[in-house]
A and B are shown apart, each in its own frame.
Chain A
């Protein structure tokens, strides 16, 4: 039954391309969430309401652009306690974290 085989091949290709379009997989997503809550939370608070670092709640980020936020996460803010996290994060992962912050924890 070649149709069935063809259908299976097409389906798996679709699934594969779907997986590639999704930059952050489930396991990594949970690692990133853990990083955000625990490591970022040390300065920004476990609920992102701020501490030594500013609040990162959806309201607090309303006027900030995605590109700027991503750059801060990756490269830090010179002259402040905010380090760059590029050793640990890809650009896509930083963008994913910005989305997560905008949704709220």
Chain B
């Protein structure tokens, strides 16, 4: 094992509890295509699961503050890079259930991305505001990009970090209202950075379309979204869906919606509105609003079933006991599920025959058949939140 150039506790082996995981056979050959990991929020641990038998395989513990934790995969879908709120970045071998490397790379972090070629892992930080770049093979530090803005050299919190084709990372500066494109294709230690200023107030999250062409940031401080066409950077960012609230008094938002993990289906985009209990439906051809679908509460995630026929939506507190399923053919809510209190995340298996739901307050992950809406099974998990299946290893922006 190689050791990281920086960081504390590099090459730490996590405690793996094999008790209660009878399916584990360490020397058995297997692929990773049906594997996934689940964030256990309060204990700060990671469950490794498989979706063929729908079972838990291993648990990796002591990974830090897991509020808003997220995961990216290596290009061989064997290693999970886990980004903790407390700045911890861990590289975990999901076949063996061990922490290969771990660095405390910042004081407060919100997510990460992996480069197109799989060699670089980027982390977006609130404190210190900016992006840190590491070698994926050993978490050695490659570069730091402080998110400096204004005349006094203040640092902005960074959100909406995604990978883009051409070994680039794109991210937004929440405090500065800027979008930056960092190109690592020449010398990874000193990336070329393109800055777009005054894109709008408080971009809070962003997405990149599956083809890697459009970067879209949601604005919290204004009614609208910002679009950057990566095929035409000279055109710069442009505003879309401007004033989608149309002057209405926004409803209180008890949890910020996510755009990453957003939905594209049937040629349309489905985005959670902010401060409205609606799903926005946008046609990328001309970026016109097609319609808005009224919902049960403030949407958090809108996730398309892989075949594009359904969009599953979960909600902010106090409506987080509910899932609504939108039928893409009719653009209406077709089904409603009440899995239990605190449904934080949804993830489909690669071909969409299973939908996995985290039910935080019930300490349970439910597996549904999205065609019959029958619950197939449930797995025990301690305050589960994000579920990340390995198919993400091979998707731009995920």
A25 to chain B, nearest CB (A): 20
Interface residues in A43-102 by Cβ distance below 8 A to B read 43, 45-47, 49-52, 76, 79, 81, 83-85, 87-88
How many Å lie between the Cα of A51 and that of B253 in the bound state?
16
- With A43-B256, A81-B204, A81-B253 as given contacts, are A49 and B360 in contact (CB-CB < 8 Å)? no
The residues of A that contact B98 with a CB separation of less than 8 Å are: none
The residues of A that contact B252 with a CB separation of less than 8 Å are: 76, 83-84
How many Å lie between the Cα of A83 and that of B86 in the bound state?
24
The 5 A-B pairs at the shortest CB distance, nearest first, are namely A83-B252, A46-B67, A41-B67, A39-B317, A42-B255
- On whether the beta carbons of B204 and A45 are closer than 8 Å, the reply is no
The residues of A that contact B254 with a CB separation of less than 8 Å are: 39, 83, 85
- On whether the beta carbons of B86 and A51 are closer than 8 Å, the reply is no
- On whether the beta carbons of B174 and A51 are closer than 8 Å, the reply is no
Give the A-B contact count at a CB cut-off of 8 A: 64
- On whether the beta carbons of B108 and A51 are closer than 8 Å, the reply is yes
How many Å lie between the Cα of A85 and that of B174 in the bound state?
24
- On whether the beta carbons of A38 and B65 are closer than 8 Å, the reply is no
B150 to chain A, nearest CB (A): 18
Counting contact residues on chain A (CB < 8 A from B), the size range is: 20 to 34
Q: Is A24 an interface residue (CB 8 A)?
A: no
- On whether the beta carbons of B85 and A51 are closer than 8 Å, the reply is yes
The residues of B that contact A76 with a CB separation of less than 8 Å are: 252
- On whether the beta carbons of A50 and B127 are closer than 8 Å, the reply is yes
How many Å lie between the Cα of A81 and that of B219 in the bound state?
11
Listed by A's residue number, 18 A-B pairs whose Cβ atoms lie within 8 Å are: A38-B383, A39-B254, A39-B255, A41-B67, A42-B255, A42-B256, A45-B65, A46-B42, A46-B85, A47-B65, A49-B85, A50-B126, A50-B127, A52-B126, A52-B256, A79-B221, A83-B254, A88-B318
Q: Is B110 an interface residue (CB 8 A)?
A: yes
Chain A interface main SS type: loop
Counting contact residues on chain B (CB < 8 A from A), the size range is: 20 to 34
The residues of B that contact A83 with a CB separation of less than 8 Å are: 252-254
One of B108, B110, B204, B318 near A49 (C-beta < 8 A): B108
The residues of A that contact B202 with a CB separation of less than 8 Å are: 81
How many Å lie between the Cα of A49 and that of B318 in the bound state?
23
- On whether the beta carbons of A52 and B174 are closer than 8 Å, the reply is yes
The residues of A that contact B383 with a CB separation of less than 8 Å are: 38
The residues of A that contact B157 with a CB separation of less than 8 Å are: 52
- With A45-B85, A46-B66, A51-B68 as given contacts, are A37 and B42 in contact (CB-CB < 8 Å)? yes
- On whether the beta carbons of B66 and A51 are closer than 8 Å, the reply is no
The residues of A that contact B41 with a CB separation of less than 8 Å are: 38, 46
Chain B 244-263 near chain A by CB (<8 Å), digits 1 or 0: 00000000111110000000
How many Å lie between the Cα of A25 and that of B314 in the bound state?
31
B215 to chain A, nearest CB (A): 20
The residues of A that contact B85 with a CB separation of less than 8 Å are: 45-46, 49, 51
B275 to chain A, nearest CB (A): 10
Closest to A44 in B: B67
- On whether the beta carbons of B317 and A50 are closer than 8 Å, the reply is no
The residues of A that contact B361 with a CB separation of less than 8 Å are: 34, 38
B61 to chain A, nearest CB (A): 16
- With A38-B360, A88-B318 as given contacts, are A49 and B256 in contact (CB-CB < 8 Å)? no
The residues of A that contact B127 with a CB separation of less than 8 Å are: 50
How many Å lie between the Cα of A71 and that of B254 in the bound state?
16
How many Å lie between the Cα of A49 and that of B360 in the bound state?
21
How many Å lie between the Cα of A3 and that of B221 in the bound state?
69
How many Å lie between the Cα of A51 and that of B110 in the bound state?
8
